[in-house]
Amino acid sequence: MTVAPRKLLLSLIVVLALVLATVVALLLHTGATPGARSADAAPASTGGGLGPNVVVFDPTMSESSIQDQLNLIANSQAGNEFGTGRYAILFKPGTYGSGADPLVFSVGYYESVAGLGQNPGDVVINGSVDVYNQCNDGNQSQCYATTNFWRSLTNLTVNVTGGSAANVTGGSAAGVTGGSAGADGCYAGTDFWAVSQAAPLRRVHINGNLSLMDHCTGSPDWASGGFIADSELAGGTVTNGSQQQFFTRDSSLDGWSNSVWNQVFCGDAGAPAQSFASDSGDQGGPDSYTTLSTCPVTREAPYLYLDATGNYRVFVPATQTDSTGPTWAHGNTAGTSLPLSSFFVVRPGATVDQINAALSTGENLLVTPGVYDVPSSIQVSHPDTKIVGLGFATLVPTRGNVTMNIADVGGVNVTGLILDAGTTGSPALLQVGTKGSTVSHAADPVSLDDVFFRIGGATPGTATTALVDNSNDSLIDDAWIWRADHGAGAGSWAGDRSDTGLVVNGDHVTATGLAVEHFQKSEAVWNGQHGEVIFYQNENPYDVPSQSAWRASPTQNGYPAFSVADSVTSFQGYGMGSYSNFNQGSVQGNLNQGSAVHNAMAFQAPHAPGVQFHDLLTVFLNGTGGIDSVIDGTGAAVGQSSAGPRDVVSYP
């Protein structure tokens, strides 16, 4: 999802602070090192051996110093959508803020905020941790959350307090960190997490109200998707508001306000009842709720924590089946604790040869914040290897290589990474397993958690496919696979090139919280047997130049957003949506009025008894043309005369 380009206005004080921070950073660390790109202006690190952009807070520190550091980072990252700054913000066990003096701060691009306790209750913030709208004009009449990507909050408790205009940072015309004077009191008593894709909440306990939109700063307040897992949202209501789609898994809820097009719940105590119908999303129609009482197979993301002696460790949660509610609700999460000594800590300056040498001896990887050029493939060959990224560490292939290749082994976890395409075309960014393998990994599956892929945006890019998953029984949990609709290389059909976002060849693969957007051919291709997808979000490519340039065959206009191969006899899909905005390469609002572009169907699958879809929908967002059917000719068209949603409750 995109909005018009923004002009960010920073105050003189913030600019001076950033200049000072740059000088400090340059004195402490030389950014331009082999294998890593120089970072944007950054405050001094307190992360020690965890890298230059890891900031660790201790409850013995003064709250004013913590607040100042958080505000500095937030303001530097608020509009830094495609910059190189990356930050892991870590809180040691203890309590921060109070009812009388709450700690209230916002989270910008490429900030991962996490508690360092073993459980969420070990780190308590009295205050709020917020994401606000971004605004395009001084009148705050064009304010959205639709590009609030690449940030996270995990493994801590927030006792929601504060949040009035007097103690919320920012409020510039650009909506840098929200909380304008015109919103006096609106933010009080609510934690705001107004985000779209690649902005997960994991292992959080929020006591109080949570809003997934920012209704206090300007309008129209749009938001476009998000992910919550393994969390307890208690003592208040979750305001969905304008969130077009959202996925919530294995959590506990006290209330959920409404739906828009596609709200999916899986294993959530207190979730709304199943209500998806043929007229869901229509005015006066039922809510668009897809609710599964349990989740089939899940494994929570590994996370960094401090043990009782103050040493860093990584906890790896165990695989669950038929799960419901948070893993920590009745004690410690089941799983395995690994010492940091078992990890090769990847810092700016590390080479691929060093990384592969560590992997070849069975070491794990902890990738510290940064943008890393990768001139040859990272090779993961040992079972049970853990690859944990901090601060949205980003890997970019530079020689047309596959960025990371995982052998056909079990138990590998990859979490917290962005994989960007390079300017020289790669066959894939991440390849998992061996195509055609019959090896079962059901007892110890590969899992990809909070792993995000970009073709363009930060830099022009090209890759045939972003993610190829050949591993049987693997788990994909919270993946956004994106060919950029704005940023570098976007807006031109010949710019950022990529045919397909996801190809699944493995059997028994489960995807929970999957988004694949804007690719140039079939966007997600599912070839494996016995697959399951719970929540899918898609936008067709915006920049199709003409219908003749975009046909799956001479008789089929466009390409499906999700395609199940004719050979597949068993598949289940729940809560899956696809939207169109064909602007034919022109700026939205100044459309090329040539022939309209149509997609014959959003979803394509064999008409087999074992291949089943539940709660499908299409929506026309803007532009010309539209989507002519929901799945295989079933379901009405959406277009300029009928925006939808158009719903198919079950298929076949």
Contact between 237 and 254 under an 8 Å Cβ cutoff? The reply is: yes
CA neighbours within 13 Å on the CB side: how many for 227? 30
**Cα–Cα distance, 313 to 299 (Å, whole number):** 18
What is the DSSP track for 553-586? Answer: ETTEEB--SEEE-TT---EEEEEEEEEEEE-TTS
Tell me the β-bridge partners of 503. 468, 525
State the Cα–Cα distance between residues 176 and 140, nearest whole angstrom. 11
Residue 223: closest CA among 188, 197, 252, 262: 197
At residue 83, the 3 state secondary structure works out as coil
Q: What whole-number distance in Å separates Cα of residue 556 and Cα of residue 576?
A: 21
Report which DSSP code applies to 173. Answer: T
Evaluated on CA atoms 580, 586, 588, 590, the torsion sign reads: negative
- Measured from the Cβ of residue 587, the count of other Cβ atoms closer than 10 Å reads 11
**126 is written with which tokens?**
């009295």
Task: For residue 552, give every residue at least 6 positions away whose Cβ sits within 8 Å of its Cβ, in sequence order, or none.
Answer: 521, 522, 558, 559, 560, 600
Sign, CA dihedral 190-196-198-203, equals positive
CA–CA dist 544, 483 (Å, integer)? 13
Short-list 648, 650, 644, CA closest to 282: 644
520, 561 contact by CB (below 8 A) = no
Q: Provide CB contacts within 8 A for 555, sequence distance 6+.
A: none
CA distances to 294, 415, 433, 451 from 466, in Å: 30, 16, 15, 11
DSSP element (H, E) containing 237:
none
The DSSP H or E segment spanning 22 is helix 12-28
CA 316, CA 162: separation in Å to the nearest integer?
34
Distance CA(100)–CA(4), nearest Å, equals 40
Give the CA distances from residue 305 to residues 156, 302, 308, 416, in Å, rounded to whole numbers and listed in that order: 11, 10, 10, 15
Roughly what angle, to the nearest 10 degrees, separates helices 12-28 and 63-77? 100
> For the chain, how many residues are written?
652
What is residue 432's three-state secondary structure?
strand
Collapsing DSSP to helix, strand or coil, 351 comes out as coil
Residues acting as catalytic residues: 539
CA-to-CA distance for 45 and 521, rounded, in angstroms? Answer: 44
